[in-house]
Structure 1
């Protein structure tokens, strides 16, 4: 189990306003929230092929990155940051959307396969293996005949946005728990949560 506190936190997504609120950009959304919460300004950094910022928060230096290479070349941007600062792949925490989890679920892991996610395929290729922590944000599978690409590049319904808001808030807590108490503690605390169920139950009036 990886016990090193993350030194680089990366959110996956696609650049451009047309992708800003899509399911595939959950990683970008979470990095933006962390940057705002920690008071870290983000700006385009050409040498990293992405939007990057660094600052001090929670007692240490934090680096945030949103690759602007488009999803299937995310690894290029992350590799550039690792090489520049001489960081180990195990010190990276990747934040990204996952169709294999329903909306409302988070899943922290210390390593693992790409699971069909093109951004993670690129990262595994450029980082030389699967041994780096990741936080998966569930977006659910497409319903009916809807295609996968249309699903991940589509927006959230008003009902889904309510769950997403809770997910992003909880994901911020999960990242901070990783930094303060380590990945194993964060996994035990946040992996069992189902925010979608919790919200739906809260909406049911008592009899």
Structure 2
């Protein structure tokens, strides 16, 4: 992997919301790796470059708002010649309950506007996604309000647990052993 993208919305008013699960994951990874994300205007986001096993890996949090995440991702990928199969996008997932994290490559976009914009700007849906379950409000008309609010008191620790558990497979992800990471993550008790 050459690029790890965490999706979310910038600004204090979105801190701690369900939609910012991707930002939360990348923030925790950066903390674990003892690196700081810094604003990078040419990539429209917060970035950090790390060295893992003699390879450069970028961490990116687009600051373009969710619906325009592809602008940030495409700018960094074009500049560093990163192919879609060499990146993983970490995002909130309505179709998984809180406490569940799943890894997959390609597939549908599930109505996720951040993924839609990345796929449109990259010209493919064939990239890895780490999906952090946030649950569904039960009514598709309530989705926007749901994702832009913090999780309920009983959901927050489950989401935090899914993030922590999925961070455990980081060594496999960074080596490009995503199938092994997927197997390990999906078979955890």
TM-score band, normalised by shorter chain = over 0.9
Q: TM-score, normalization: structure 2? A: 0.93
Which residue of 1 is the match for residue 71 of structure 2? 76
User: Gaps spanning 5+ residues in structure 2: where?
Assistant: none
Which residue of 1 is the match for residue 3 of structure 2? 8
Q: 1:163 Cα shift?
A: 1.2
Q: Aligned equivalents of 2:130 and 2:96: distance in 1? A: 12
Q: 1:193 Cα shift?
A: 4.1
CA contact (8 A) 1:105 1:138 kept: yes
SS at match of 1:158: coil
SS at match of 2:155: helix
Q: Aligned equivalents of 1:147 and 1:171: distance in 2? A: 28
Segment drifting more, 73-82 vs 172-181: 172-181
Alignment of 1:147-166 (within 5 A): 147-166=142-161
Say if 2:31 is the partner of 1:36.
Answer: yes
For these two proteins, the number of residue pairs brought into alignment is 189
CA contact (8 A) 1:99 1:139 kept: yes
Residues 172, 58 of structure 1: alpha-carbon distance in 2 compared, 3 angstrom cutoff: farther
SS at match of 2:48: strand
Residues 18, 131 of structure 1: alpha-carbon distance in 2 compared, 3 angstrom cutoff: same
CA contact (8 A) 2:48 2:58 kept: yes
Alignment of 1:1-207 (within 5 A): 6-57=1-52, 60-143=55-138, 147-180=142-175, 182-193=177-188
CA contact (8 A) 1:38 1:57 kept: no
User: Gaps spanning 5+ residues in structure 1: where?
Assistant: 1-5, 195-207
- Whichever of the two has the greater Rg, that structure is 1
CA contact (8 A) 1:104 1:163 kept: yes
